[in-house]
Structure 1
Amino acid sequence: MCSAVETTSDRREKASTAKGEARRQAIIDAAAAIIRESGPKEVTHRAVAQRAGCSLSATTYYFDGLDDLLHQAGLLNISLWAARAERVADAVEALEERPGLDERIEFLLRATLPEKGPYLGHYLQLISAGASAPVGSAYREGRQRLNAAISRIAESFSLRYSAEIIIAVVDGAVVTALSERRDVRETAAALVRALAETGRK
């Protein structure tokens, strides 16, 4: 007698109930938080179970292994960052008048940087994501949504630079500030100011 092999669709069916979906989401939330705080290497079934307040078996019940969980957690993280940028883009597009340069810079920083520090942990986990195929893949998948939001802001401010360049400038400024023990937001603001002053359409 052959035993049935559980498929991904079987697992999704398990999570289709409200209770099952809530538990599955709590597990993803826990894994995503661990990635943000400590990087993908710290995501284990045991660590996630402890963080989510669920049984160890629950962390394997809804996912096709740890890579699947890591991928879902990565998708959640990039969606959080994209949603933040989209909220800023909505606010910018709702303005009746174009703001001054200082305010435009602040909007761009709000869209590209975490709301609060410390920033070192955020950038360390971004770098470490490259060593985790499922997380790196998830971040690539969700990047277009983030880019689209930044592009909306750039268009509203008549900036000719792409979202990729704007994000790269901010990220580079942060790494410089962190490595030289400088203020992160001040350093990023200075480089974004230079970009804005030279990049008007």
Structure 2
Amino acid sequence: MKSPRGEARRRELLDKVADELGTNGLVDFSLRRAARAAGTTHKVLLYHFDGAEDLLTQAVLQLRQRRITRALAAASEGPGDRSLADRVRSMWPTLIGEESWVLDQAIGLAMYDAPRYADLARTASRQYMPTLLSLCPESWSEQRRQEVAELILATLRGFLIEWRTSGDAAGIEAGLAALTRALEREEQAN
């Protein structure tokens, strides 16, 4: 177990590397590039992380957590009695905002080289689900909340792929409208 000082240093390094990834993306990521961004040496990074893949994974997780925090803040703005549909819709600008292209690259990397990077995709679901579950009405059963959260996650992922690959804003807007209607019907089906 690392000391509190060592853990604070690790977090500081990770923040700097995540910032650099958010700006420059995953292409040509290396320990040396990460070390330059963090203002240290690659040996120091190896002391704190289990190699380039571990550092890359941790930095992607950090970027994704930042996105989730911003999305939850957007979903929580306004009156507390907002519908699930309104909350989900309010998250969309955050999902396509800062650093989204890097997170899309990470999912692409996981699909391209699953043996090495599949965890980048698996952890995405584990990171997003608690937030999506927290948006569902507490009166719903756990199973219903899980099903609806999975629907939201899969649908938004599809919209993100469509946004990144085709840029079809009208098609995505139509899809968001359909998702909104489906969620409104689900909420009314108490």
Do these two structures clear the TM 0.5 threshold for a shared fold by scoring above it? yes
CA-to-partner distance for each residue in 1:102-142, whole Å, 9 max, x for gaps? x545324256x14347x545423321144366654255246
TM-score by length of 2: 0.69
**Given the superposition, is the C-alpha separation of residues 166 and 28 from structure 1 closer, same or farther in structure 2, using an over 3 Å criterion?**
same
In the other structure, the counterpart of 2:25 is 38
**Which has the higher Rg, Structure 1 or Structure 2?**
1
Q: TM-score, normalization: structure 1? A: 0.66
In the superposition, relative to structure 1, how do residues 34 and 165 fare at CA in structure 2: closer, same or farther (>3 Å)?
farther
Cα displacement string for residues 64-93 of structure 1 (whole angstroms, at most 9, x for unaligned residues): 32233233223323322332343345x16x
Flag structure 2 segments of 5+ consecutive residues without an equivalent.
none
Aligned counterpart for 1:66 among listed residues 52, 55, 62:
52
Q: Does residue 79 of structure 2 align to residue 98 of structure 1?
A: no
| Alignment partner of 1:125 is 2:90 | no
1:194 to 151, 159, 178: 178
**CA separation in 2, counterparts of 1:182 and 1:191?**
11
Which whole-Å CA distance do the structure 2 matches of 1:176 and 1:64 have between them?
34
- Closer/same/farther in 2, CA of residues 61 and 144 from structure 1, 3 Å limit: closer
Q: 1:72 to 1:105 in 2, by over 3 A?
A: closer
> Higher helix proportion, which one?
2
Instruction: After TM superposition, give the deviation of residue 46 of structure 1 in Å.
Output: 0.4
For 2:42, what is the secondary structure of its paired residue?
coil
Q: Which runs of 5+ in 1 are unaligned?
A: 1-11
Higher mean C-alpha displacement, 129-138 vs 190-199: 129-138
Q: Structure 1 pair 97/164, CA: closer, same or farther in 2 (3 Å)?
A: closer
Contact in 2 for aligned 1:35/1:125 (Cα 8 Å): no
Letter in 1 for 2:126: Q
Q: How many pairs are equivalent? A: 178
Report the AA paired with residue 170 of structure 1: L
Inter-partner Cα distance in structure 2 for 1:135 and 1:74: 11
Query: 2:15 aligned with 1:29, yes or no?
Result: yes
Q: Do the aligned partners of residues 29 and 135 (structure 1) sit closer, same or farther apart at CA in structure 2, a change above 3 Å counting?
A: farther
What residue number does 1:165 align with?
Answer: 151
- The 2-side partners of 1:100 and 1:64 are apart by 40
Q: Distance in 2 between matches of 1:79 and 1:181?
A: 25
1:149 lines up with 2:136 in the alignment: no
SS in 1 for 2:40: coil
SS in 2 for 1:155: coil
Cα separation, 1, equivalents of 2:180 and 2:83: 13
**Residue 83 and residue 124 in structure 1: after superposition, are their counterparts in 2 closer, same or farther (change >3 A)?**
same
**What is the letter of the counterpart of residue 123 of structure 1?**
D
Residue of structure 2 equivalent to 1:84? 70
